[in-house]
Amino acid sequence: MTQSLTAFGKVILLGEHAVLDGAPALALPLPAGLRATLLRTGTGELRLRPELNDDRLHEALGLLGRLLPNPGFRMDWESDLPLGAGLGASAALSHLLAQAAWEAARPGTPPPADLLAEVTHRLEHCFHGTASGIDDAVVRLRAPVLLQRPRITVEWPFPKAPLAPHLWQVTLPCPLPLVVAHSGEHADTRELIARVRARAPRGFADDSRALFGDFVEALGRGDAAAAGGVLTRAHELLGLAGATTARLDRLVELALAAGAWGAKLTGSGGGGCVLAVCDAGKMDQVAEAWREAGFVVVTPR
Q: What is the pLDDT of residues 185-208, one digit of tens each?
A: 988 877 888 999 999 999 999 999
What is the H or E stretch that residue 50 is in? none
CATH 3.30.70.890 domain span(s) along the chain: 178-299
Per-residue pLDDT at 131: 65
What is the H or E stretch that residue 244 is in? none
Mean pLDDT of the chain: 93
- In this structure, the number of other CB atoms found within 10 A of the CB of residue 113 comes to 11
82 vs 11: CA distance, rounded Å: 13
CATH 3.30.230.10 domain span(s) along the chain: 2-141
pLDDT > 70? residue 146:
yes
CA distances from 75 to 55, 106, 107 (A): 18, 16, 15
Average pLDDT over residues 69-82: 92
Give CA 84 to chain center in angstroms.
11
271 vs 265: CA distance, rounded Å: 8
246 vs 248: CA distance, rounded Å: 6
Average pLDDT over residues 275-294: 97
pLDDT digits (tens, 9 = 90+) for 228-267: 999 999 999 999 999 999 999 999 999 999 999 999 999 9
Confidence of residue 300 (pLDDT cuts 50, 70, 90): low
Confidence of residue 301 (pLDDT cuts 50, 70, 90): low
Strand partners, 24: none
The amino acid that residue 127 corresponds to is F
**CATH fold label, 178-299:** Alpha-Beta Plaits (3.30.70)
| CATH code given to domain 2-141 | 3.30.230.10
CA distances from 58 to 47, 61, 83, 150, 246 (A): 10, 5, 16, 30, 33
pTM: 0.89
Bigger pLDDT: 82 vs 233: 233
pLDDT > 60? residue 4:
yes
Average pLDDT over residues 261-285: 95
Helices marked H in 185-267: 189-199, 204-220, 224-240, 246-257
